[in-house]
Amino acid sequence: MRRLGALACALALCAGASYTATRYALKEVEVELLLRPRVIVMDYNSAAKGLASQTPEAIDRAIAEMRNNVGKLKEAGFVVLDGQSVLAAPNDLYVPTPAARLVGKQTALSQSGFGTEGEQ
Q: Mean pLDDT over residues 38-62, rounded? A: 83
**Closest to 89 in 3D by CA, of 78, 101, 81, 77:** 81
Is there a domain that residue 119 lies in? no
Alpha-carbon 34 to chain mean position: 15
Residues 31 and 44 occupy one common structural domain? no
R_g (Cα) of the chain, nearest Å:
24
Which structural domain, as residue segments, surrounds residue 22? 1-35
- Give how many domains the chain has, as a whole number: 2
pLDDT over 90 percentage in the chain: 1
d(CA 94, CA 42) in angstroms, rounded, equals 6
Residue 120: is its pLDDT beyond 70?
no
Residues 31 and 50 occupy one common structural domain? no
The pLDDT value recorded for residue 112 is: 45
Residues 68 and 24 occupy one common structural domain? no
Residue 107: is its pLDDT beyond 70?
no
Residues 58 and 76 occupy one common structural domain? yes
Sequence-distant contacts of 57-60: CB under 8 A, at least 24 apart: 58/102
